[in-house]
Amino acid sequence: MRLSINAVIAIFSLYFQSVNAQSEQIITEDFKPSAVNQPERIFPKVNSQRRVRASISAPNASKVQLDIGGVKYDMRKDDKGVWTGESNPQDEGFHYYQLNIDGASVPDPGSLYFYGAGRLGSGIEIPSSDQDFFALKNVPHGLVSENIYFSKLTNSFRRCFVYTPESYNENTKMRYPVLYLQHGSFEDETGWSAQGKANLILDNLIASKKAVPMIIVMDNGYAYKAQESNSSDKNPKESVFEDVLITEVIPMIDAKFRTIPKRENRAIAGLSMGANQTMRIMMNHLDTFAYYGGFSGTANYPNSDAIDASTFLNGKYKDGNALNKQIKLFWLGLGTKEPAPFPKSIGAFRTMLEQQGIKYDYYESPETAHEWLTWRRCLHQFASKLFK
């Protein structure tokens, strides 16, 4: 039987596609423990293909899966009852994950726990090519302190974490500008120092003289008005975070720390939900802040108090020239692999800014999605431009 040249080409094409598909499934055995494992735990591990390998002893379980990024991977059970399994290659950076044992999702006891996705759970660090900017180095290190306060607006005790640079305790006469930095949806005030590495990013920037020494305040963006004792639990909660920040947190920080209590020395920024919250706070309090940073913001989120383009166009922010005189830096950033709502909404927002003549800086984090490596890079870029 004769085959035409086209048929031969088609056969070889199918063959090589099959070979390539098989090679993609070959797992490189150069796994190393994740950088965020519990002390002395060797699992979970990550290899050069950016695959995650997890392992757990569950001799009585009938099915165990590794759940990362919403994708579940079946794990294998050995004769000792230990389950082991790998994921497909993951994007660089930090990711939340969990194990699913007979239908129950649980944290992996091998990893450190982080508050994200509305719970304490496991995290994995996929080494990134540019991780040097947030690496732990032999440079002077600042202090992250826990500050507990009572909020009259929420009728509850709250806390914020405060980063002070290494020089803060050495030169007691020096005063510092302040960045108020907010977390994202279903995260809390621990996120920026634990997952975000904010303190290490600033330590490295300050040590290399690429950023002005500054204080960073990281508060909880979920704050609700105290309900009357006779009110129904079914009543919707009223967010009062803006008032908490303006009337309680900022005065407390200015009284407790050696700040420069002027708008020209205050910045506000946030990621995702926090970007939307801080946008609203910034535009309502231009007498308080002079710098704004929005990381992966403007998409609609529950309880986010977002400001969209129409608010700018139809509200009190029409005068771009006047706004440019008030805002020293209007900064926006997102990842190139963000899900559809974010590029679309940020694109529309940028168009609106340009139509009104509002100056802004824009940054895209290469090959990252709606995740912490995007926001680490955003903070690195944004902080280097503040208070100069």
**What residues make up the domain containing 201?**
132-383
Q: Span 341-351, mean pLDDT?
A: 90
What the block records as the tokens of 232 is: 């129904």
CATH code: domain of residue 334? 3.40.50.1820
pLDDT band, very low/low/confident/very high, at 14 (cuts 50, 70, 90): very low
Question: Rounded CA gap, 299 and 184, in Å?
Answer: 12
Whether residues 122 and 178 share a domain: the answer is: no
Structural domain total, the chain: 2
Q: Is 226 inside a domain boundary?
A: yes
Between the alpha carbon of residue 169 and those of residues 282, 340, 384, the distances in Å are 30, 45, 22
Q: What is the DSSP string of 316-384?
A: TT--HHHHHHH-SEEEEEEETT--THHHHHHHHHHHHHHHTT---EEEEETT--SSHHHHHHHHHHHHT
Residue 19 CB: number of other CB atoms within 10 A?
10
Taking the chain, what is the end-to-end CA distance rounded to the nearest angstrom?
A: 78
Residue 60 has pLDDT above 90, yes or no: yes
Whether residues 151 and 239 share a domain: the answer is: yes
Whether residues 166 and 213 share a domain: the answer is: yes
pLDDT at 13: 43
Is the separation of the CB atoms in 353 and 381 below 8 Å?
no
Q: Is 6 inside a domain boundary?
A: no
Residue 44 has pLDDT above 70, yes or no: yes
pLDDT tens across 86-135, in order?
999 999 999 999 999 999 999 999 999 999 999 999 999 999 999 999 99
Whether residues 118 and 256 share a domain: the answer is: no
Q: What is the DSSP string of 351-362?
A: HHHHHTT---EE
Q: Whose structure tokens read 């930090």?
A: 94
Residue 23 has pLDDT above 50, yes or no: no
Whether residues 47 and 93 share a domain: the answer is: yes
pLDDT at 315: 56
Lowest mean pLDDT of 5-14, 47-56, 259-268, 290-299, name the range: 5-14
Above pLDDT 70, what percent of the chain? 87
Least Cα distance to 139 among 191, 202, 197, 195 occurs for: 202
Whether residues 136 and 50 share a domain: the answer is: no
Whether residues 72 and 96 share a domain: the answer is: yes
CATH code: domain of residue 40? 2.60.40.10
Least Cα distance to 308 among 267, 269, 351 occurs for: 351
pLDDT at 299: 55
Domain end: 78, 109, 127, which one?
127
Lowest mean pLDDT of 7-11, 139-143, 164-168, 189-193, name the range: 7-11
pLDDT band, very low/low/confident/very high, at 320 (cuts 50, 70, 90): confident
Q: Is 336 inside a domain boundary?
A: yes
Q: Whose structure tokens read 């700018």?
A: 312
pLDDT at 224: 96
Is the separation of the CB atoms in 334 and 364 below 8 Å?
yes
Residue 303 has pLDDT above 50, yes or no: no
Whether residues 141 and 259 share a domain: the answer is: yes
Bond into 341 cis (ω within 30): no
Q: Which residues pair with 224 in a beta bridge?
A: 239
